[in-house]
Structure 1
Amino acid sequence: MSKQPHVLVIPYPAQGHVAPLLKLATKIAEHGIKVTFVNTEFIEAKVMASIPEKAEGWSLIKFVSISDGIERDDDRKDFDKTRNTMLRVMPGNLKDLIEKINQSSDCEQITCVIADISVRWALEVAQNLGVSRAAFIPYGPENLALSFHVTKMIEDGILDSNGNPMNDGLISISEGTLPWKRNEICWSCRGNEKMQKILFESICAVVQFVNISNWVLSNSFYELDPSSCDLVPNILPIGPLLASNNSRHLAGSLRPEDSTCLSWLDKQSIGSVIYVSLGSTATLNQQQFEELALGLESSSQPFLWVVRSDLVDGSLTGFPDGFKERITGRGKIVEWAAQEKVLAHPSVACFVSHCGWNSTLEGLSMGVPFLCWPYFVDQYQNRNYICEAWKIGLNLCPDGNGIVTRHEIQTKVTKLLSDEGIKRNALKLKETAINSLVEGGSSFENFERFIVEMKSS
């Protein structure tokens, strides 16, 4: 008799990585497969604190945690230090966890590890233990396809050995894919060579770990970017991974969600609200923060604005004088929102977004047009797809000082809300996204294939 499948899922410890993998884990568990979800101790505390007590998905998954080796007093914003500590400590901790589970009972043994490609060492741990492996790609297929072309681009003199473009032209990997601008490649970090080196080395390493995986799971759907998908061997687009259509799915938020914004949306006119959320890591300086506030005010539209406590560099010194009083009743400000539910609400007219991949998929799956404000890594190319390839949004352009002005915000809001072509494109893409998830759809079929193969491996 073959062993019952038992899947161990491990995300990179950050909001944009935990959320899609928790949605995937819930979806797998609904197929009667035992799932153990591994967070770091630091992240697990945040996830547990944010999950509603009565969330249906809670009972489907077993949550466990391992140490990331980072001390309580250490600065977790020191990316290089925390990364090196995790690389030194976590592979051994994961190996110990898997061995402990495997020794506990024959029917409990881990049969497959699904690991975020950003914790690719977990795939190596699984390989060494003789366990099947699925690499999960939390970003768009175009950046995964780019990884497969880096070596050749260096050989052809398009990039130097550090990933810097050798000329000012566009960088293209195929006729069907959107080319990159030289300063918008996913490892580009203007003014931060150390970070760029880390990101470039990570992108280069992706191919090796994809190649040792039995499956490559992409949080996308084939019809969204077929040319990029065709460039990646064995890719299985199974997205968009969404929670809003199923109450059993856990959202994977690392912050408590303010549910009052949903009842506030109920009181607004259909298609009137500007929803503003720049993700979990983007920061603004005080001047830019104030310009955004005044731009929203001058738009004359109702708006829902997610203002994290760490949104402003340093600390928030306050909103513009009299701003909160002037927008009373028209503007709603929250620390964090249930984003999928917000985007699905009929009152929402557009999404001012940093264009992170999760936000991009959620927005287009709900048929919401975008105002794009990318911050770093893959977000610039996601913006280009939104505006140029799919034509479902407009770009917010900084001025000569790098500031997106209140006038730019007001102008683009007005232009977007009157653009019927963009609205039509957004609704059409929503239909394509949803169709991919229903029986017979591309993502539905790919997911079913993965389940069948995993059960028989």
Structure 2
Amino acid sequence: MLTNGHLERTVIDWIPGMPPIKLGDMSSFVRTTDPDDFGLRFNEEEANNCTKANALILNTFDELEADVLAALRAEYARIYTIGPLGTLLNHAADAIGGGLSLWKQDTECLAWLDTQQPRSAVYVNFGSLTVMTPERLAEFAWGIAATGCPFLFVVRENLVPGGPAALPPEFVVETDGRRCLATWCSQEQVLRHPAVGCFLTHSGWNSKCESVASGVPMVCWPVFADQYINRKYACESWDVGLRLDEEVRREQVTAQVKQVMESEEMRQDAARWKAKAEQAARLGGSSYKNLQSMVEVIRSFASDSKKAEA
């Protein structure tokens, strides 16, 4: 069994392209002591499959992970960084309607955000897979309420037994008039809304990319998989996030959210990353060029296939 002390004390400093990292910040899939663990074996298999691929397509951009990408490019002939993917594909998504999410979305929250002051609101969303107990949800709820900030709280129907109805009735009454509850939303639109000043997130990669691309600093509470590494980069490499302990305490939730909301330095760092993300995704940027190159290669494959059939 891996104790919290062991996870914090053990430092891994031999991964190419990565800074020294505590075991506790590694993917939960590789922290198991069971050699037959499904997650560990699955990740091992997928990593080995990558070595057989003609190319790797990654939802990131060059400046965001320069050292890691340099190490990967030393091993793989073709790597296409085409992120932030949402930024790059926004126009196409608008053309077909509905955006990239497959979930039913609540658009009323955008109208609610329109009534809030710039950078005044906290956005809370734990992604599409996270689940928690009603007790933990209550700690988050009261912690957010104590900040005094207006907030948009996404509570999926399957986030907790009972869905949004599991929120403490006293919390619902006390925060009336300064909160919006939704079961899902268009996250990119929410993060790009000028009223949003902080994102309380599970630290999934898509959420991290969307937050960086929108210039919104974060409070990070990872649950499993790569979310721990994503948190480390957000908080220590990009300087756009603060950590929450695994055991949720309402007092810490309040303190970390307020610190993010009040930090001009963190807001400036987030704005710089937003500018870099936009530069990568716009016409002539690195991600834009990589997408063009990838399409050209795919077209060449199709052309070669037709010639072979002729």
Task: Sort the TM-score into its range (normalised by shorter chain).
Answer: 0.7 to 0.9
Deviation at 1:314, TM superposition (A): 7.4
CA RMSD of aligned residues (A): 2.4
The answer as to whether partners of 2:120 and 2:150 remain within 8 angstroms in 1 is yes
Which among 33, 51, 56 is matched to residue 211 of structure 1?
51
- Determine helix, strand or coil for the equivalent of 1:224: coil
Partner of 1:373: 221
Structure 2: distance between partners of 1:252 and 1:192: 37
Structure 1: distance between partners of 2:104 and 2:204: 20
The answer as to whether partners of 2:198 and 2:216 remain within 8 angstroms in 1 is yes
Structure 1: distance between partners of 2:226 and 2:250: 26
Which among 316, 334, 345 is matched to residue 193 of structure 2?
345
Partner of 1:414: 258
Which moves more between the two structures, 425-434 or 410-419?
Answer: 410-419
State the Cα deviation string for residues 143-194 of structure 1 (Å, max 9, x = none).
xxxxxxxxxxxxxxxxxxxxxx999531134575233322332243778948
Partner of 1:242: 86
- Determine helix, strand or coil for the equivalent of 1:276: strand
Partner of 1:454: 298
Deviation at 1:315, TM superposition (A): 6.5
Structure 1: distance between partners of 2:162 and 2:9: 35
**1:302 maps onto 2:150 in alignment:** yes
- Determine helix, strand or coil for the equivalent of 1:371: strand
Deviation at 1:213, TM superposition (A): 2.1
Counterpart AA for 1:454: I
Partner of 1:202: 42
Which among 4, 10, 13 is matched to residue 172 of structure 1?
13
The answer as to whether partners of 1:286 and 1:316 remain within 8 angstroms in 2 is no
Structure 2: distance between partners of 1:374 and 1:406: 16
Structure 2: distance between partners of 1:418 and 1:448: 40
Counterpart AA for 1:420: E
The answer as to whether partners of 2:32 and 2:40 remain within 8 angstroms in 1 is no
Structure 1: distance between partners of 2:166 and 2:47: 46
- Determine helix, strand or coil for the equivalent of 2:185: coil
Q: 1:166 to 1:434 in 2, by over 3 A?
A: closer
The answer as to whether partners of 1:355 and 1:372 remain within 8 angstroms in 2 is yes
Which among 23, 48, 71 is matched to residue 231 of structure 1?
71
Which among 170, 192, 197 is matched to residue 322 of structure 1?
170
The answer as to whether partners of 1:272 and 1:349 remain within 8 angstroms in 2 is yes
Structure 2: distance between partners of 1:189 and 1:208: 15
The answer as to whether partners of 1:176 and 1:227 remain within 8 angstroms in 2 is yes
- Runs of 4+ aligned residues of structure 1 deviating over 4 Å after TM superposition are 165-168, 189-194, 313-317
Structure 2: distance between partners of 1:267 and 1:317: 25
Partner of 1:433: 277
Counterpart AA for 1:248: A
Q: Larger C-alpha radius of gyration, 1 or 2?
A: 1
Partner of 1:391: 239
TM-score under structure 2 length normalisation? 0.86
Structure 2: distance between partners of 1:298 and 1:312: 22
State the Cα deviation string for residues 399-432 of structure 1 (Å, max 9, x = none).
xxx2x21111111122111211111110000000
Higher relative contact order (CA 8 A, sep 6+): 2
**1:336 maps onto 2:184 in alignment:** yes
Which moves more between the two structures, 179-188 or 345-354?
Answer: 179-188
Which moves more between the two structures, 172-181 or 340-349?
Answer: 172-181
- Determine helix, strand or coil for the equivalent of 2:84: coil
State the Cα deviation string for residues 102-157 of structure 1 (Å, max 9, x = none).
xxxxxxxxxxxxxxxxxxxxxxxxxxxxxxxxxxxxxxxxxxxxxxxxxxxxxxxx
Deviation at 1:235, TM superposition (A): 1.6
The answer as to whether partners of 1:297 and 1:327 remain within 8 angstroms in 2 is yes
**1:284 maps onto 2:137 in alignment:** no
Which among 138, 141, 146 is matched to residue 293 of structure 1?
141
The answer as to whether partners of 1:258 and 1:338 remain within 8 angstroms in 2 is yes
Q: 1:347 to 1:291 in 2, by over 3 A?
A: same
- Determine helix, strand or coil for the equivalent of 1:426: helix
Structure 2: distance between partners of 1:320 and 1:190: 35
Unpaired runs of 5+ residues, structure 2, are 1-5, 302-310
Q: Count residues in correspondence.
A: 288
Partner of 1:222: 62
Deviation at 1:253, TM superposition (A): 2.5
**1:424 maps onto 2:268 in alignment:** yes
Q: 1:446 to 1:316 in 2, by over 3 A?
A: closer
Structure 1: distance between partners of 2:215 and 2:122: 14
Structure 1: distance between partners of 2:135 and 2:208: 26
- Determine helix, strand or coil for the equivalent of 1:231: helix
- Determine helix, strand or coil for the equivalent of 1:248: helix
TM-score under structure 1 length normalisation? 0.59
Unpaired runs of 5+ residues, structure 1, are 1-164
